[in-house]
Structure 1
Amino acid sequence: MKRAVRIGGASGATSDRRLGFSQLVSAHPDDPVDVLIGDFMSEANMTSLAARKAEGAEGGAFEAVFVDAITPALADIAKYGIKIVVNAGGSDTQLLYETVVNVVKQQQLSLKVAWISGDEVLPALLERSKADPQAFANFYTGETLASWPFKPLYAQAYLGGLGIATALQNGADIVLCGRVSDASLIIGAAAWWHSWDRTKLPQLANALIAGHLIECSTYITGGNFSGFKELEKGGRWLDLGFPIAEIGAEGEVVITKQKGRGGIVSVETCTAQLLYEIQGPWYFNSDVTAIIDNLQFTQIGENRVSMSGVESAPPPPTTKVGITAHGGFQAEMHYFLVGLDIPAKARMFEQQVRHYLRADIPNFTLLDFQLLGTPTLNPQTQASATVTLRIVAQARSAADLAPHKFLRPIVDLVMSSYPGGTFHLDTRLGIPRPVYEYFVTKLDQTAVEHRVHMHDGRVIEVPPPSVTKIFATQQPSAPSFKVEAGAGREWGETVRAPLGLVAGGRSGDKGSDANVGFFVSSAEQYEWLRQFLSVDRMKTLLAKEYNGKEIDRFELPHIHAVHFLLHDHLDRGVSCTTTVDFLGKNVAEFIRAREVDIPRAFLRKPKDGVKL
């Protein structure tokens, strides 16, 4: 039996630090890794790269930052025999392949490069949609693709990891993917190392969740972590170490990180990352479904956490597809308001803008006024008394948002505006930029032509799973805790304080939905949390942010967490949303700041992960 494979998460986004590959491979003699994965894809750059491809833009439609990141690491990759698996091809995986092959040749290395195809599925979608107008429904809106008022430019299916495993089994050193699901990178690496096939559902499910934990790189070692203050001592929030997942032959998982770097791997950081961007207790992938409501983490050493309790089921017969279309254009302007009477100042200026633009507003598809921040009472600095009024407009054509129809009129109002009226001198955001609509649906896996293109010209077909399971459209949801005999414990004296003094949190985006989860560090606190955090309570905590849509809830008792899915909370998704929290990452931090009645006993005893 082979030892556990050590898979390093070297990149979690196109905006991640580009030193992960070099750091991890150069440390190999003292801190070895077998495979490095890098996820450079998101819904944001899927849409922008799709538009580049459709428009034939120069330079290709792949993530060039991957080439920047991998180039200085290639010599060590070859020296130590480390495998590389990445999501970076975007809409031009073959061109990325040719680019990487040229870089490898320039360095006179013998690394074998393979690439995965099959994620580009627009022709299949359009053909079936024409024959059956009801075939494809949007996950979030329910509208059909046939009735969508936008012209699709590109469509990508989320592939599984078995193509990656096939490439590695056939000798590839570097495997380039256009769009596999984020965790498929880890599934593929582990399946190759341990020679798993599709029948190994428990092992694949554990690899899937291990992938979910490390694919966002340092999010699991202290990044985006509500307990971040504990990292300040000793400068541990500097130079956060990239994560490593150790996956055994039976699917055993241990999460750790680079030696000698900052950050931390703890039950709390793993819990936080588990709660990120999930949709409920069923975690779907093209290769397997993981069921996570009985998952638990155990601290087994310094910066070492084991995972257990993941259950498995066959994958669904379908896979997720994202379809990109031109959505029009967006422009925005920022004004600053200071001191007293902020609502009245904002009201005055909004009415002035609407009056001045009244002839052009009918051509806008959206015009929104947003106050960002609240001035400090009795401010000691002018900055602390300042808030921003953000004015956002969208229209189908750039001409409708041309500077003389949006930017210039709003600037011209400065002399007639509220006391202290001042606009931001950098007016580049006022120039219309394209935005993209994103339609999310499902496609039968049997309709996907999943192929591996090897370094020697061979093309290997990857068949879809033969055993699948149809799941209910609605994930399991419990609006409140289950009342048992003798239910509802009394918690004694309470104190009005921010929820975040007791609970950590993590939130994220999936299309227009936001997910948010909260966790505490003791069983006693969890009993309070699960009783307190009902769907109705979440609506109250959201306050004016609640949009009246459905909210799903489920409990994770073994990690002391409660999770919510907020339907349509993020407008229309990252590619065309007008909110500043376009990735939903601050939903948790907003709710943690809300004051609630907390049992006094919990505030007297600070727990690991959340410092009071």
Structure 2
Amino acid sequence: MTSTTRPIRIGNCSGFYGDRVAAAKEMVEGASADGQGIDVLCGDYLAELTMLILAKAQAKDPSAGYAKTFLTQVEDVLGTCLERGIRIVANAGGLNPSGLAEAVRAVAERLGLDAKVAHVEGDDLRGDLAAITPPVTDEPVSANAYLGGWGIAEALGAGADVVVTGRVTDASLVVGPAAWWHGWGPSDFDELAGAVVAGHVIECGPQATGGNYSFLNEITDRRYPGFPIAEVAADGSSVITKNEDTGGLVSVGTVTAQLLYEIGPPAYLGPDCTSHFDTIRLTQEGEHRVGIAGVRGSAPPETLKVALNDVGGYRNTMTLVLTGLDISARAAYAEELLFDVLGGRDRFAEVDTRLLRFDHVDAPGNEQAVAHLRVTVKDPDPKKVGRAFSNATMQLALGGYAGFHTTTPPSSESQFGVYRPAAVPRSAVTQTVVLPDGERRVIPDPLCSAHTEATTSGATTSSAGDAGPGEADRTRGGVQSRGPTQRVPLGTVCGARSGDKGGHANIGMWGRSDDEYAWLQEFLTPDKVRELIGPEAAELEIEVFALPNLRAVNVLVHDILGAGVASSTRPDPQAKGLGEYLRSRLVDVPESLLSV
């Protein structure tokens, strides 16, 4: 543990496997306006889909299974980090953290550097699935418990320069270093929760500094956004910033957007604590500096989240282009002809057809008169959905509808995965840190016998046609009258950010004033959200959670992504555009909100 009480400065250099490789060097060599550099360089490389990708790589080569781009970044910055005392912490180990640790040592040796490398393991449950619920009866290609930050803290305390992990939570990359730096204990729930929130903000890199931000006009520096830095204080409060002379924006709005990304109820469950997102307070403390304070924490749940990935079978998609008149009729005709050629729909385990309308009446250009008929087939038998399927679409070329063509030539099948969420008792998982000298230290679960039930108050929920708890009171008589209205896009008075939560999608929406939030919270009932999303949400459960401190609501749409990103047949399988779609819908907004 370091004796200093100043905030620890943790800079992010990766939000996913495949992110900007140069970000590590830019972060390490940059500095804030006061000349300060970072104390820790962290990077997040894992997602549910990434674990499936790494499992495929490991099946071909047992020495693989980690994010190889991390090694390029290490080679770029290791010398500078050792010289400046900057520690490196990353979850790039994926399914093979020990293999990545060895690879980092090899990089250091090649560079002539003496780097102390540690790794954290224990998350990979493929060797013993017995304690997982619901029970696992097959052999998933990956099965990982989400570990917390104490293994990272232990490694840093033992002098590690580089710490690589498997599946820890994204926020643990900040929680571990902050707990080590400030000497927190396992029951310091408020401090830990503050670090979780800071970690959640910076885990996706430039999404906190203007990337993917709804209000483009607010971003005056259009250079590629600088990656974010969290300055975490001893009490768990933090400041989000970025290096000087980098692009993008750090504002209450950009930080709010990232706080709302891929969350569920306000009680955000984690392995080290439950963080209550409805207690977060944000303040603009200066240019590109946003303070986070007031975060309350409580004990974590008695179980750890587990992500299971299975091979789901094989799939193929062909997209037929329709132009001009009678689009719907031609699409129906094409579908009928295609499946007649193929021998019927029931030959496949699953068929998904979507008519995507981009066409305009009397279009001024050919490209504005087209629609796409997107046909996806799935089956355990790759031969059924391979070239036998895609070649069949070409039989319509001369015998189908007028103007037939496709967006791609006939394609081969691809394997897809199925994601399953699960849980495991904390006592069934052994987090272990392997120190630079090879010593193995078991990290005792600090709260195996302690549990404070997390509340999810403030939520309204409903399935299609049913009013959930509290909804009737909120919607009785409709939205309160606020005077005359205008029909404008919903996004006129709110921002949004959306993403995937397993098979669910979340949409965080926030107003920029108290009045906008008051109207938004009243307006966005589960039924209204279902109406705005349209037919694909007609039978889905929808929950809406209020986050008054952030002037925000969080919408959770259950099962819209089916069995997860790798299996979804939606054109937007990660629901990245769902929030912006809602913002584009025309709704009746009080003129009093438009005159500001």
Fold match, TM over 0.5?
Answer: yes
SS at structure 2 position matched to 1:505 = strand
Give the counterpart letter for 1:121 in structure 2. Answer: L
Q: Distance in 2 between matches of 1:226 and 1:165?
A: 36
User: Cα–Cα, structure 1 residues 390 and 69, in superposed 2: closer, same or farther, change >3 Å?
Assistant: farther
Is 1:52 the counterpart of 2:43 in the alignment? no
Give the counterpart letter for 1:175 in structure 2. Answer: V
1:211-238 C-alpha deviation (Å, 9 max, x unpaired): 011000000111111112332x4xx232
Is 1:161 the counterpart of 2:152 in the alignment? no
Q: Distance in 2 between matches of 1:577 and 1:191?
A: 38
Shift of 1:70: 2.3
Partner in structure 1 of residue 362 of structure 2: 378
Partner in structure 2 of residue 367 of structure 1: 351
Is 1:541 the counterpart of 2:523 in the alignment? no
Partner in structure 2 of residue 416 of structure 1: 399
Partner in structure 1 of residue 113 of structure 2: 109
Q: Confirm or deny: 8 A CA contact 1:284 1:290 kept in the other structure.
A: yes
Once the two structures are superposed, the pairs formed by residues 245-264 of structure 1 within 5 Å of their partners are 245-264=230-249
Q: Confirm or deny: 8 A CA contact 2:298 2:452 kept in the other structure.
A: no
Partner in structure 2 of residue 136 of structure 1: 133
Q: Confirm or deny: 8 A CA contact 2:317 2:375 kept in the other structure.
A: yes
Q: Distance in 2 between matches of 1:519 and 1:474?
A: 19
Once the two structures are superposed, the pairs formed by residues 114-513 of structure 1 within 5 Å of their partners are 114-125=118-129, 127-128=130-131, 136-137=133-134, 144-146=135-137, 151-231=139-219, 233=220, 236-358=221-343, 361-403=345-387, 405-427=388-410, 430-466=411-447, 468-469=450-451, 471=453, 477-479=459-461, 480=471, 489-513=480-504
User: Cα–Cα, structure 1 residues 215 and 420, in superposed 2: closer, same or farther, change >3 Å?
Assistant: same
Is 1:3 the counterpart of 2:6 in the alignment? yes
Once the two structures are superposed, the pairs formed by residues 519-538 of structure 1 within 5 Å of their partners are 519-538=510-529
The match for 1:41 among 40, 46, 52 is 46
Q: Distance in 1 between matches of 2:432 and 2:356?
A: 48
Shift of 1:370: 1.6
Give the counterpart letter for 2:575 in structure 1. Answer: G
Shift of 1:388: 2.3
Q: Distance in 2 between matches of 1:531 and 1:481?
A: 12
Is 1:76 the counterpart of 2:80 in the alignment? yes
Give the counterpart letter for 1:99 in structure 2. Answer: A
The match for 2:25 among 22, 25, 34 is 22
SS at structure 1 position matched to 2:505 = strand
The number of aligned residues is: 581
User: Cα–Cα, structure 1 residues 362 and 295, in superposed 2: closer, same or farther, change >3 Å?
Assistant: same
User: Cα–Cα, structure 1 residues 237 and 377, in superposed 2: closer, same or farther, change >3 Å?
Assistant: farther
Partner in structure 2 of residue 131 of structure 1: none
Shift of 1:380: 2.4
Shift of 1:154: 2.7
User: Cα–Cα, structure 1 residues 28 and 106, in superposed 2: closer, same or farther, change >3 Å?
Assistant: farther
Shift of 1:603: 2.2
User: Cα–Cα, structure 1 residues 382 and 483, in superposed 2: closer, same or farther, change >3 Å?
Assistant: closer
User: Cα–Cα, structure 1 residues 373 and 244, in superposed 2: closer, same or farther, change >3 Å?
Assistant: farther
Give the share of equivalent positions with the same residue, in percent: 36
Give the counterpart letter for 1:577 in structure 2. Answer: S
1:417-438 C-alpha deviation (Å, 9 max, x unpaired): 22211112444xx211111122
1:108-150 C-alpha deviation (Å, 9 max, x unpaired): 111211111101112332x34xxxxxx612xxxxxx534xxx5
Shift of 1:181: 0.7
Runs (5+) with no aligned partner, structure 2:
462-470
Stretch of structure 1 that moved more, 485-494 or 592-601: 485-494
SS at structure 1 position matched to 2:11 = strand
Stretch of structure 1 that moved more, 587-596 or 375-384: 375-384
Q: Distance in 2 between matches of 1:530 and 1:308?
A: 23
1:251-307 C-alpha deviation (Å, 9 max, x unpaired): 111111121011001111111111110011111111111011132211111111111
Partner in structure 1 of residue 576 of structure 2: 585
1:463-502 C-alpha deviation (Å, 9 max, x unpaired): 1123532547977523549669999642111111110111
Q: Confirm or deny: 8 A CA contact 1:374 1:387 kept in the other structure.
A: yes
User: Cα–Cα, structure 1 residues 484 and 327, in superposed 2: closer, same or farther, change >3 Å?
Assistant: closer
Q: Confirm or deny: 8 A CA contact 1:481 1:530 kept in the other structure.
A: no
User: Cα–Cα, structure 1 residues 538 and 486, in superposed 2: closer, same or farther, change >3 Å?
Assistant: closer
SS at structure 2 position matched to 1:206 = helix
Q: Distance in 2 between matches of 1:365 and 1:308?
A: 51
SS at structure 2 position matched to 1:478 = strand
Q: Distance in 2 between matches of 1:481 and 1:533?
A: 13
SS at structure 2 position matched to 1:152 = coil
Q: Distance in 2 between matches of 1:199 and 1:512?
A: 33
- Normalised to the residue count of structure 1, the TM-score between the two structures is 0.91
- Normalised to the residue count of structure 2, the TM-score between the two structures is 0.93
RMSD: 2.1
Q: Confirm or deny: 8 A CA contact 1:28 1:80 kept in the other structure.
A: no
Q: Distance in 1 between matches of 2:271 and 2:47?
A: 18
Q: Distance in 2 between matches of 1:478 and 1:297?
A: 25
SS at structure 1 position matched to 2:144 = strand
Q: Confirm or deny: 8 A CA contact 1:552 1:566 kept in the other structure.
A: yes
Runs (5+) with no aligned partner, structure 1:
129-134, 138-143, 606-612
Q: Distance in 2 between matches of 1:470 and 1:565?
A: 24
Q: Distance in 1 between matches of 2:357 and 2:9?
A: 44
Stretch of structure 1 that moved more, 107-116 or 473-482: 473-482
Q: Distance in 1 between matches of 2:474 and 2:339?
A: 52
User: Cα–Cα, structure 1 residues 488 and 58, in superposed 2: closer, same or farther, change >3 Å?
Assistant: closer
Q: Confirm or deny: 8 A CA contact 1:369 1:389 kept in the other structure.
A: yes
